[in-house]
Amino acid sequence: MSYQGVNFANQHIVPSDDGRLYQAIFDDGALSGCKLSYSGTDLTLAPGYLMVAGREIYVDAAEVFSCSAQTYGFAQLVLTIDLTQSATAAAFNQVSASIRYASTQGGFASLIQGDINGSDVLYECQLALVALSSGGIAEILEDLPVAQLKGGGGLSANAAVLHVTAPLGSTVTITKGTVSKSQGPEKSHANAEDGAIADYYFGIPADGYGTWTVTATMENRAASSTVAIGTNQQYDVALVFEIVLYADGTLNSAYSTSELKTPTNATITYEPEYVEMVTVGNKASDVFLRWDSIDLTSYKTLKATIATKGNNNVNANRIAAVFVSQDDSVKKFSAASVKADHDAYNDGVAGNEFASCTLELNIEECKGIWHVAVGTHTNDQGWNIARTARVFSVRLEG
């Protein structure tokens, strides 16, 4: 066995000897300076010192990288150490940086991180990950952290990524305490699966962990949610604006409506503050107002405020109902294509007194196009009696 000194008197030290030592001590990161900023499509790396794979690198002047080749998805700034390139006293070409693109955050090729302090010659390090939009760079999602001791728990200055989907054209604002960040429509990019939805990306530094309020606004509409951020990962929040199908005596003209009545002499009357529906006869009967062909994919709840009553002082069974259906039936509570919710009243009061309720139907599993209906149903009775329902509001909530 023989030993060879490295940092001993009269021994020869090469760059890989120092690199091996520093790489064992430090994670990749910035020793000083090297802050990132952006404007439009330009990403700027400020002067400073980097520690990458145990090699110290001096950035002697600000460098600007254009991210204009793609207007959606993501761009990655990658620093490459290539020991096959020249390194002389007059010219140093072993370090370079370049921009790479991907349509999804996880769509980049894996970085090559060979043992350049051993026998390999190539090492790549991500300096930044940014989200792109039609207006240029939307947000720096990840940047290089300050160089930390191995195992020291150093985190990127933007350790977490908050991904928000909202209706295209929205302004999205995230707030935590006195800290607020906003992105307008020009900072979004359209979702490839649905042109009506846009994606917004925010970088959350480690010292910003906690509960954030996320709000999307557009004209007089708004939607909000909260998200608790606590680790270095991506958090997803989906926002949709409430659809008011009926309220304050007004039908939403953006959606076509149908009147469904069994028997045909049941009536639907549009009053200033509500829609009144009356069923008649001594058989099971239904009267519904239906909104046709609505995409429920992004919605969670169908909510309606309804009041019902019987007649002739009869304490009769009265049912207010909301349902969604993928066929053209009037009502099929048991059909596989229908989800329904209803309240029955046998509460001891006279049948001619109104009893009100708010029905909430969970529609999270209803993806695609459905019909939405509200109204009243009565069971088969042995007497001729009228049932009345008054619908005050119908809403779809995200």
Q: Are 81 and 95 contacting, i.e. CB atoms less than 8 angstroms apart?
A: yes
d(CA 366, CA 337): 10
Assess whether 112 and 8 both reside in one domain: yes
Residue 93: HSE in the Cβ half-sphere, 13 Å Cα cutoff? 6
Looking at this protein, which amino acid is placed at residue 10? N
Q: Are 9 and 132 contacting, i.e. CB atoms less than 8 angstroms apart?
A: no
User: How many domains does the structure of the chain reveal?
Assistant: 3
Assess whether 326 and 185 both reside in one domain: no
Assess whether 141 and 6 both reside in one domain: yes
Only one residue has tokens 């007649």, namely 311
Assess whether 334 and 370 both reside in one domain: yes
16 phi/psi in degrees, rounded to 5: -65, -25
Tokens for 213?
Answer: 């309020």
Give me the tens of pLDDT residue by residue for the chain, a chain 398 residues long: 678 878 888 888 888 888 888 888 888 888 888 999 999 999 999 998 899 999 999 999 999 999 999 888 899 999 999 999 999 988 999 999 999 999 888 889 999 999 999 999 999 999 999 988 888 898 888 888 777 666 544 445 446 888 888 888 888 999 999 888 888 776 665 544 444 778 888 888 777 889 999 999 888 888 889 999 988 778 889 888 888 888 888 888 888 888 877 777 788 888 999 888 887 665 666 788 888 888 888 888 888 888 877 655 444 455 677 777 776 654 443 334 455 555 554 443 445 667 777 888 888 888 888 888 888 766 555 444 567 788 888 888 87
3-state DSSP: the chain helix, strand, coil percent, rounded to 5? 5, 55, 40
Exposure string of 43-82, with b = 16+ CB inside 10 Å and e = fewer, is bebeebebbbbbbebebeeeeebebeeeebbbbbbbbbbe
| End residue of a domain, out of 175, 207, 240 | 240
Q: Which domain holds residue 35?
A: 1-146
Assess whether 254 and 215 both reside in one domain: no
d(CA 158, CA 308): 55
* CA proximity to 140, closest of 75, 208, 66: 75
| End residue of a domain, out of 181, 205, 240 | 240
Assess whether 31 and 138 both reside in one domain: yes
- Before 263, cis peptide (omega within 30)? yes
d(CA 64, CA 221): 39
* Consecutive H or E run containing 22: helix 15-25
Assess whether 95 and 201 both reside in one domain: no
Q: Are 259 and 355 contacting, i.e. CB atoms less than 8 angstroms apart?
A: no
Give the max Cα distance, the chain.
Answer: 113
d(CA 181, CA 201): 11
Dihedral sign (CA 360, 366, 368, 371): negative
d(CA 367, CA 194): 13
Assess whether 312 and 388 both reside in one domain: yes
Residue 109: HSE in the Cβ half-sphere, 13 Å Cα cutoff? 8
Assess whether 25 and 3 both reside in one domain: yes
Assess whether 206 and 260 both reside in one domain: no
Assess whether 176 and 251 both reside in one domain: no
Q: Which residues does 364 contact at the CB level (< 8 Å), separation at least 6?
A: 299, 300
72 phi/psi in degrees, rounded to 5: -150, 165
Assess whether 321 and 230 both reside in one domain: no
| End residue of a domain, out of 225, 240, 255 | 240
Q: What is the CATH number of the domain that holds 112?
A: 2.60.520.10
Q: What is the CATH number of the domain that holds 224?
A: 2.60.40.10
